[in-house]
Amino acid sequence: MKNDLMLIGEIADFFGISRKAIRLYEKKGIIKPVKVDAANGYRYYSAEQVQQLNALLELKALGFSLDEIKMIIDGKTAKTPLLEMLEKKRQAWQDTMNSAKYKEECLGEIIKNLQGSRAAQTLTEMTEEERAWLLVKMVCLEDVRAQKILSEALWL
């Protein structure tokens, strides 16, 4: 029987995770060894459990919590709630990407402002207060955008 089972260390090495992580998944009731040797405490896992662990790691990489993963693996979600969970997670990733895109655009604006500023070339020669004011002016895009939108709205 041991020939078709894998030890916890073998599985951990295969997936590049720690034994401690697998023990946590066991403690949470997500993945349970098919056999625990009473003499030495070694945990043995079947091919089915290796597949479950693979699914767990994929779902975890997609941002699901261990509680959500347990529900999915245990089949405690009907088709509709599972689809809703997946859609909610997809939307969360979309929001994250939108936020990252906004930050990338802000950094582009800061770079453009610094490249076009003669004062930015002399940052090292400025006093701490002068440098702070310049950086606030260059970096605080939120205020600049808000002021621009408000100004445009007032003149319409």
| Residue closest to 69 by CA, chosen among 100, 95, 40, 31 | 31
pTM beyond 0.95, yes or no: no
Q: Which domain holds residue 55?
A: 2-74
Report the CATH number at residue 54.
1.10.1660.10
51 and 100 share one domain? no
In whole angstroms, give the CA distance from residue 2 to residue 11: 14
Which residues have C-beta within 8 Å of that of residue 130, sequence separation ≥ 6?
none
Task: Check whether residue 110 and residue 88 sit in a common domain.
Answer: yes
Considering the domain architecture, whether residues 85 and 69 belong to the same structural domain is answered as no
Q: Is the pLDDT of residue 137 over 80?
A: no
Indicate if 67 and 32 belong to the same structural domain: yes
pLDDT score of 113: 75
Bridge partners (DSSP) of residue 95 are none
Q: Does 56 lie in the same domain as 94?
A: no
Whether 69 and 84 map to the same domain: the answer is: no
50-94 per-position pLDDT tens digit: 999 999 999 999 999 999 999 888 887 777 788 888 999 999 999
> Is the predicted pLDDT of residue 118 greater than 90, yes or no?
no
pLDDT given for residue 126 in this prediction: 81
Number of structural domains (the chain) is: 2
In 3D space, the residue among 62, 134, 138 whose CA is nearest the CA of residue 94 turns out to be 62
Same domain (yes/no): 52, 67:
yes
Tell me the pLDDT of the chain averaged across its residues. Answer: 84
Q: What are 35's strand-pairing partners?
A: 44
Q: Summarize the confidence of residues 103-125 as an average pLDDT.
A: 77
- Same-domain check for residues 106 and 68: no
Q: pLDDT of 7-39, one tens digit each?
A: 999 999 999 999 999 999 999 999 999 999 999
Contact 32, 44 (CB under 8 A): no
Angle at 122 between CA 118 and CA 123, to 5 degrees: 115
DSSP 29-87: TSS--SEE-TTT--EEE-HHHHHHHHHHHHHHHTT--HHHHHHHHHT-S-HHHHHHHHH
